[in-house]
């Protein structure tokens, strides 16, 4: 399923957060949304999910315009703040989310094993989530987003608080999902993670200042570090917005 954003704008009160954001995400792409804190990454993800309405512009998943309730069956969303139940165990959370998605019982058992394994939570499945560490909650939240094998994953900072070894494992899992045709949109603060993505969108001052293949973006830098493009934007030397 291709995703198209066309001139999407969003303000909160009088404060514009996103201005005319246009972007095309092809099926099977892994896209990284990069930008400083407050640049509108989470807002953009929530607009794509349909949890927020844009002031103008449109977002389409294939031919379907967002917001669209049935579409959510095909989307896995991981919010920046973990949306898991602390008075349930990890496994009970997954059972709950699986039932919400109407996953048949036998398949759900299989899927729970798979996502626990992928997020390295198999041994902690019976622990109450209130006794989980921050990184464990994060991983459980990711497991919940993957449970129903959605076509599109919208992941808001999925690897924050996760150690480098597990982070690598998670990115390898994203690559596997990509090989199966899933599209993945990930926000991150970790500039190194860009290397795992096909394309990156750089958000700055409410606009997409760069969007393109990661290797092409890196060619525009002097030292091969993506953050140089932000330094350039902040010093006013911004190149023309690519779309």
Which residues contact ligand ATP (rule: CB under 6 A)? 12, 17, 35, 37-43, 80
Q: Does position 42 bind Mg ion by CB under 5 A?
A: yes
Q: Applying CB under 5 A, which part among 53-61, 76-84, 101-109, 234-242 lies near Mg ion?
A: 76-84
- C-alpha to C-alpha distance for 230 and 222, rounded to whole angstroms: 13
Partner whose footprint covers residue 40, from ligand ATP, Mg ion, none (CB < 5 to 8 Å by kind): ligand ATP
**CB 58, min distance to ligand ATP, A:** 19
Identity of the residue, 13 or 70, whose beta carbon is nearer to ligand ATP in the bound complex = 13
x/- contact string, 195-234, with Mg ion (CB under 5 A)?
A: ----------------------------------------
C-beta of residue 76 within 8 angstroms of C-beta of residue 146:
yes
> Residue-wise over 30-52: b if at least 16 C-beta within 10 A, else e?
bbbbbbeeebbbbbbbbbbbbeb
- C-alpha to C-alpha distance for 76 and 45, rounded to whole angstroms: 11
Count of H helices and E strands in the chain? Answer: 7, 10
**CB 21, min distance to Mg ion, A:** 15
Region of residue 240 (left: phi > 0; alpha: psi -120 to 50; beta: else)? beta
Strands 64-65, 75-78: parallel, antiparallel or unpaired by DSSP?
A: unpaired
**CB 12, min distance to ligand ATP, A:** 3
Identity of the residue, 39 or 89, whose beta carbon is nearer to ligand ATP in the bound complex = 39
Q: Does position 83 bind Mg ion by CB under 5 A?
A: no
Q: Applying CB under 5 A, which part among 23-31, 38-46, 61-69, 167-175 lies near Mg ion?
A: 38-46
Q: Which of 9, 22, 80, 242 binds Mg ion (CB under 5 A)?
A: 80
Cα of 33 vs its chain's centroid, Å = 8
Partner whose footprint covers residue 8, from Mg ion, ligand ATP, none (CB < 5 to 8 Å by kind): none
Alpha carbon distances (Å) from 110 to 114, 116, 177, 180, 239: 6, 10, 17, 18, 49
Backbone φ and ψ for 215, nearest 5 degrees, come out as: -65, -35
Residues that bind Mg ion (CB under 5 A): 41-42, 80
């Amino acid at each position: 399923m291709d995703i198209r954003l066309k001139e999407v704008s969003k303000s909160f009160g009088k404060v514009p957060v996103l201005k005319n954001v246009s972007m095309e995400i092809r099926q099977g792409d892994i896209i990284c949304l990069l930008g400083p804190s407050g640049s509108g990454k989470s807002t953009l993800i929530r607009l794509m999910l349909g949890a927020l309405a844009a002031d103008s512009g449109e977002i389409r998943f294939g031919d379907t315009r967002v917001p669209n309730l049935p579409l959510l069956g095909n989307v896995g969303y991981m919010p920046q703040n973990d949306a898991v139940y602390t008075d349930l165990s990890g496994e009970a959370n997954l059972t709950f989310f699986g039932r919400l998605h109407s996953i048949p019982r036998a398949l759900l058992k299989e899927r729970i094993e798979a996502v626990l394994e992928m997020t390295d939570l198999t041994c902690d499945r019976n622990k109450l989530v209130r006794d989980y560490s921050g990184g464990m909650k994060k991983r459980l939240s990711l497991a919940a987003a993957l449970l129903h094998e959605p076509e599109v994953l919208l992941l808001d900072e999925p690897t924050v608080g996760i150690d480098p070894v597990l982070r690598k494992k998670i990115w390898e899992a994203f690559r596997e999902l990509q090989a199966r045709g899933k599209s993945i949109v990930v926000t991150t603060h970790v500039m190194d993670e860009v290397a795992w993505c096909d394309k990156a969108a750089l958000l700055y001052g409410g606009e997409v200042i760069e969007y393109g293949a990661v290797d092409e973006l890196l060619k525009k830098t002097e030292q091969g570090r993506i953050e140089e493009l932000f330094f350039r934007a902040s010093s006013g030397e911004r190149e023309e917005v690519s779309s």
